[in-house]
Chain A
Amino acid sequence: MATLDLVIQEDVTATPVRSTRRLGRLFWAALGWVIFVFAAATLVDVLPLPSPTDMDMLERRAPVSALHWLGTDGFGRDELARLIHGARISLIVGLCAPIIGLTIGGALGMLAGYFRGRFESLVVGSMDVLLAFPPLILALAVTAYLGQSIPNLTFILGVLGIPAFMRVARAATLTLARREFVVAAQALGASHARILLRELLPNVMLPLLAFFLLGVAVTIVAEGALSFLGLGVPPPISSWGSMIGEGRESLDVAPQLAFIPAIAMFLTVLSFNLVGDSLRALTDPRQGAL
């Protein structure tokens, strides 16, 4: 037996080396902006801002001044205060809605991809129905019956996101479930729950999280579009979409009222996409090795 031990020689260096990957300046700028918007939205109550709903009819569409840093809107409300309060709405809806999609869609997709069979047909079929349903009609129907509110808006956007998350999770699970590590786990006596949670979930989570950040960006835009159409948050609460909608009426005299919230939305959406992309590249341990 001793001779056998001698045969084993090693083909890699004895001490493992850790590789470090660099993140670009763009990533840090994007992350900085996201943190800045988060901080502003969280601290909105302690910041020394004027009320976002107090109207000052003498100062309508006022230009930038020491009192109103970004001027006032068509009703004389402080633009900066409305922008930051709007950020809060956009972020709450933008984060909560994809979480609904991620949880429900991800779970359904993994179960469908792992167990296949009739359950899969049922899930995929019902998601196709949901996808075929016109989203605006659904939004109109829900707001008409349940009323305009932030939870309702989040609910609509969340439900609309389920099919996409389901598809991402199912596609990833389908390819992974056939890998030998899953068969090896089964051969070692792992239960279905264990295989799903410990073997598959960590793998499926990566594409899902990357898709989640994309979902945040898309939802912020969708919330803006719904608010622009008057289906979003009820006035006088401000959201970026409703601010753009209100600014549209005075585009010729005060274009900044539409452009300032539009720029804020643009930067935030871009930042989420950039951060999502970099994080995906960073946390992907496969590096093309598989």
Chain B
Amino acid sequence: MTGTPLLSVEDVAVDLPTARGNLRAVDRVDLTLGAGRTLGIVGESGCGKTMLSRAILQLLPKKAKLSGRVMFDGQDLARCSAETLRKLRARSLAVVFQDPMTSLNPVLTIGTQLIETLQEHLELDGMAATKRSIELLAAVGIPAPEQRLAQYPHQLSGGMRQRVAIAIALSCEPKLLIADEPTTALDVTIQAQILDLLAREQKRRHMAMIIITHDLGVVAGRTDEVAVMYAGRVVERAPTQALFKHMRMPYTEALLAAIPKLDTAPHTPLPAISGRPPDPTRPLIGCSFAPRCRYAAGRCEAEKPKLAAAETADHLYACFHPIKLAAGVGA
């Protein structure tokens, strides 16, 4: 990466006040993403992935408190005025959500939703916007796009709806697309199609993309860099190749082990990660993963390991007992 990155998240923390006390959903995260590159954010449910993406988009719940800086294209999103932020979102940010059932407006036709977005952002007239919508729908692989314009979201299948959601997100030519578990609600057979579609459109438009997922398999072939999150913190960050070749953090290893493999014998129990993530309203003093970690020993319980670079400058991890390099698992 050269020059200033497109997006840089600096020391971002998100606090949510709850009835049981303060909940730290995102705990001092640093990330950078260059133009045209892809970052994967991986972690299990409730580890702060979605909150981090909402913090980048400045779409946190009203009660949430954000600290740190979110630099996008030279501007700090956390300190923008509402109007600047709105214009910036309109021009350069877009998001695709997990559930295509709820991310499309159920009472408006596909055409209305697409055409209005186009008219608003690109100031096209009706005819041009309709033409552009048909092109966009065709680009995301929807057959008979002219007829689709008159249809309502409930008349399409889940995969089709997600394609429409992607078309709407792409309509304003964003510089950064955040895909928040874009394939979790879809059939496995459709998952690969949607991911390939995202990758293809990303290359074509040279936009940066953040893929948020709980599935290491999703990020493996499709990202430049991966950040593994646990209990609100980034616990390992590395270029995708390096991560899968020499993972250092026991949590990453455990996540990878929990993916079902085709070559294991039938009825082999899946090596799930035992226990549950720590209660985010009662943060641990030591490493958050220590209670579930099979390497945990000594100071793991008493001190939080810092995210630091080891052998190579771009491979960072937060662990006192990293996995030995030789023990790395091939991707």
List the interface of chain A (C-beta within 8 A of B).
1, 4-5, 7-12, 14-16, 116-117, 179-181, 183-184, 186-191, 194, 198-199, 202-203, 206, 285-287, 289-290
Could you say which residues of chain A place their CB within 8 Å of the CB of B93?
A: 187-189
Residue pairs across A and B with Cβ atoms less than 8 A apart, 8 shown, are A7-B196, A12-B160, A14-B143, A179-B103, A187-B57, A187-B59, A199-B105, A290-B154
For the complex of A and B, the 7 pairs showing the least CB-CB separation, nearest first, are: A189-B90, A189-B89, A289-B154, A8-B141, A180-B103, A187-B95, A180-B97
Could you say which residues of chain B place their CB within 8 Å of the CB of A9?
A: 193
Give bound CA distance, A287 to B106, whole Å.
10
Highest count of chain B CB atoms <10 Å: which of A5, A189, A190: A189
A-B interface pairs (CB < 8 A), number:
112
Could you say which residues of chain B place their CB within 8 Å of the CB of A14?
A: 143-144
Given contacts A188-B168, A202-B108, A287-B154, contact A183 B95 (CB under 8 A): yes
Give bound CA distance, A285 to B95, whole Å.
25
Q: How many residues of B contact A (CB 8 A)?
A: 53
Interface residues of B in 267-300 (CB under 8 A from A): none
CB distance from B48 to the nearest CB of A (A): 17
CB distance from A289 to the nearest CB of B (A): 4
Interface residues of B in 45-94 (CB under 8 A from A): 57, 59, 62, 86-91, 93-94
Residue of A nearest to B158 (CB): A11
Q: Are A285 and B86 in contact (CB under 8 A)?
A: no
Could you say which residues of chain B place their CB within 8 Å of the CB of A180?
A: 97-99, 102-103
Query: Residue-by-residue, is B97-115 near A (CB-CB < 8 Å gives 1, otherwise 0)?
Result: 1110111111110000000
| 12 additional contacts (CB under 8 A) given A11-B160, A286-B107, A290-B102 | A10-B143, A11-B157, A14-B143, A14-B144, A179-B103, A181-B105, A187-B89, A187-B94, A188-B90, A189-B90, A198-B116, A286-B154
Given contacts A184-B103, A189-B91, A290-B101, contact A16 B157 (CB under 8 A): no
CB distance from B65 to the nearest CB of A (A): 16
List the interface of chain B (C-beta within 8 A of A).
57, 59, 62, 86-91, 93-95, 97-99, 101-108, 116-117, 120-121, 141, 143-144, 147-148, 151-152, 154-157, 159-160, 165, 168-169, 172, 178, 190, 192-193, 196-197, 199-200, 203
CB distance from B296 to the nearest CB of A (A): 38
Given contacts A11-B157, A12-B160, contact A188 B97 (CB under 8 A): no
Q: Are B144 and A11 in contact (CB under 8 A)?
A: no
Residues of A contacting B: mostly? loop
Q: Are A202 and B105 in contact (CB under 8 A)?
A: yes
Residue of B nearest to A200 (CB): B105
CB distance from B104 to the nearest CB of A (A): 6
Residue of A nearest to B85 (CB): A189
Could you say which residues of chain B place their CB within 8 Å of the CB of A11?
A: 157, 159-160, 190
Give bound CA distance, A75 to B249, whole Å.
96
CB distance from B142 to the nearest CB of A (A): 8
Residue of B nearest to A285 (CB): B152
Residue of B nearest to A19 (CB): B155
Give bound CA distance, A194 to B62, whole Å.
19
Give bound CA distance, A147 to B244, whole Å.
83
Given contacts A11-B159, A15-B147, A116-B62, contact A183 B97 (CB under 8 A): yes
CB distance from B21 to the nearest CB of A (A): 22
Given contacts A15-B144, A188-B90, A285-B152, contact A7 B106 (CB under 8 A): no
Give bound CA distance, A260 to B199, whole Å.
72
CB distance from B159 to the nearest CB of A (A): 6
Q: Are B97 and A16 in contact (CB under 8 A)?
A: no
Give bound CA distance, A180 to B93, whole Å.
16
Highest count of chain A CB atoms <10 Å: which of B90, B99, B107, B172: B107
Give bound CA distance, A203 to B112, whole Å.
14
CB distance from B120 to the nearest CB of A (A): 7
Give bound CA distance, A290 to B99, whole Å.
11
Highest count of chain B CB atoms <10 Å: which of A11, A15, A287: A11
Identify B106's interface contact among A15, A183, A191, A290, CB under 8 A: A290
Highest count of chain A CB atoms <10 Å: which of B93, B98, B155, B169: B155
